[in-house]
Structure 1
Amino acid sequence: MSLAFLVTSLAIVATPGTGVVLTVAAGLRSGRRVAVVTALGCTLGIVPHLAAAVTGTAALLRAGGLAFEGLKIAGVCYLLYMAWSTWRDQGILAVDESGPPVSTARTIGNAVLANLLNPKLTLFFFAFLPQFVNQGGAGATTRMVALGGMFMAMTLVVFIGYGLFASYLRRHLIDRPNAVRRLQRFFSLSYLGLGAKLATTHR
């Protein structure tokens, strides 16, 4: 496993995107447990993209303009929904800790969906991973799975770090409603910006 792959993958993972915003928002809203669960869900959302790359489906999706555009539109719609729901939320940190915990299944489902509807991940596995695999050599599939597994492990660790830091900040923000509202608007605009950026992504 080359240093170039590790450094480039780390840079890609650490760069704020949909998964990072979702994990940080979860940490601020509900604390450490939900942040870690969200990070796990975002990581699991990478699996279909890796599977598509390994089986060659990614190449077909890349070549099929209609399929790619459909996935991109779904991703944009999801991000616009996240922007709208975050903006109108009246209590991003107002969680009743005495009440029932946030559903783990729902948290994971939302996180998986966020990355599942991210065609940029498909492009990453189609365009980036094969550069480190000898397609004509033996064990190419095994190597691609290993590289994808390392990328997922890095994603999980980095996202958990983001989430735990956000949960730490939560205690310092919960009694400052004006700061919370500004932060809420920031997340809403972040989803909107990510949606706009995805909408302008070309094959």
Structure 2
Amino acid sequence: MLPIETLLAFFSAALLLALVPGPDNIFVLTQSIFQGKKSGIMVMFGLCTGLIFHTLAVTLGVAVIFQTSAIAFTILKIIGAGYLLYLAWQIFKAPSEKIDTKNNKIIDYKKLYYRGIIMNITNPKVSIFFLAFLPQFTNPNLGSVSFQMILLGGLFILATIIIFGMIALLSGSISQVFNKSEKSQMILNKLASFVFVALAVKLITTKQ
């Protein structure tokens, strides 16, 4: 079992890393503003589910493939960028109508959850980051390294839930301002689509 000092140090680092602007927290921010805080929360849970995949991938050594294989890295990167461009187009062509964030029938929260999973899993940089970050806090002399990696991955997910949850709750209230008129909703649609295009460009230009 890892000492409490190591776990606290890792958890503190994870909190700080979750605060650093990146595709995931920007995604939560955008969805929270666009469709309300509950939508942001569902996206957050989707992203964190994706982190479970990356934790297991690193534990099983699958992430090494993306680190050593340029082809595998490029393929997953293209898939991820393509999905982001698809989301950008869907939002861009969306009608400028008011969205009632309190009406559960209008917003498909399950779809938003799956969207978060797909976005996180198709970002090979996350697995590579986990591969570089998690082992630094493990100690083979303290038991199973695989168990330690899973424990650290769980703590990282907890830190992500805390930070991303705060982002969703705080920014979700902004959607009420944009939801007062069709014109403001149209502006928000264009801004959201621009953000997704920017994230796609950033992902596709990312080097291994």
TM-score by length of 1: 0.87
Q: Are 1:58 and 2:63 matched, yes or no? A: yes
Q: Are 1:198 and 2:203 matched, yes or no? A: yes
Alignment-mate amino acid for residue 75 of structure 2: G
Alignment-mate amino acid for residue 100 of structure 1: K
Match for 2:15 among 10, 18, 32? 10
Aligned residue number for residue 114 of structure 1: 119
Aligned residue number for residue 75 of structure 1: 80
Aligned residue number for residue 177 of structure 2: 172
Aligned residue number for residue 32 of structure 2: 27
Bigger shift: residues 31-40 or 49-58:
31-40
Using the alignment, how far apart are the partners of 1:162 and 1:67 within structure 2? 32
1:75 and 1:114 in contact (8 A); partners too:
yes
Using the alignment, how far apart are the partners of 1:116 and 1:93 within structure 2? 32
Computed over aligned residues only, the root mean square deviation of the Cα atoms, in angstroms, reads 2.3
Kindly report which structure 2 residues correspond to 1:86-101, keeping only aligned pairs within 5 A, or say none: 86-91=91-96, 93-95=98-100, 97=102, 100-101=105-106
- Between the aligned residues of both structures, percent identity stands at 26
Aligned residue number for residue 134 of structure 1: 139
How many residue pairs were aligned? 203
- Shift in Å, 1:125: 0.7
Structure 2 residue runs of 5 or longer lacking an equivalent are 1-5
1:28 and 1:93 in contact (8 A); partners too:
no
Using the alignment, how far apart are the partners of 2:72 and 2:134 within structure 1? 21
1:37 and 1:104 in contact (8 A); partners too:
yes
2:98 and 2:185 in contact (8 A); partners too:
yes
Using the alignment, how far apart are the partners of 2:97 and 2:41 within structure 1? 18
Using the alignment, how far apart are the partners of 1:15 and 1:190 within structure 2? 17
2:34 and 2:188 in contact (8 A); partners too:
no
Give the 3 Å change call, closer, same or farther, for CA 61–39 of structure 1 in structure 2: same
1:158-193, Cα deviation, whole Å (9 max, x unpaired): 111111112211222222544443333232222112
Bigger shift: residues 69-78 or 27-36:
27-36
Bigger shift: residues 185-194 or 44-53:
185-194
- Shift in Å, 1:102: 2.6
Structure 1 residue runs of 5 or longer lacking an equivalent are none
Bigger shift: residues 15-24 or 141-150:
15-24
- Shift in Å, 1:58: 0.8
TM-score by length of 2: 0.85
